[in-house]
Amino acid sequence: MRLLYRLRVSGEQRPFDTTSLFYILPMIILTMTKGGIGAKDQDEVDEQVVLALDFIQFHTEICKY
């Protein structure tokens, strides 16, 4: 959870380059497909998925090119 939050905040300030995204996106996609990683309750699952979606939203412009 903490890592997702840090990635979201860092990506919001300045988007990551494509090489960094290459390493980060598998975890983001896994979080979304599994409905959270290591989540203990539904609130934590929801928060993880929202953080993952926010991260993708901040990087859609980079993925265009």
pLDDT category at 65 given cuts 50, 70, 90 is low
Express each pLDDT in 15-61 by its tens digit: 898 899 999 999 999 998 988 888 889 999 999 999 999 999 888 87
* Beta-carbon contacts of residue 59 (< 8 Å; ≥ 6 apart): 11, 15, 16, 21
Mean pLDDT of the chain: 88
Q: How many helices and strands in the chain, by DSSP H and E?
A: 4, 0
**Burial degree of 24 (CB within 10 A; 0-12, 13-18, 19+):** middle
Q: Which amino acid is at 39?
A: A
Kindly report the pTM of this predicted structure: 0.84
pLDDT category at 64 given cuts 50, 70, 90 is low
Structural tokens at position 62: 């980079």
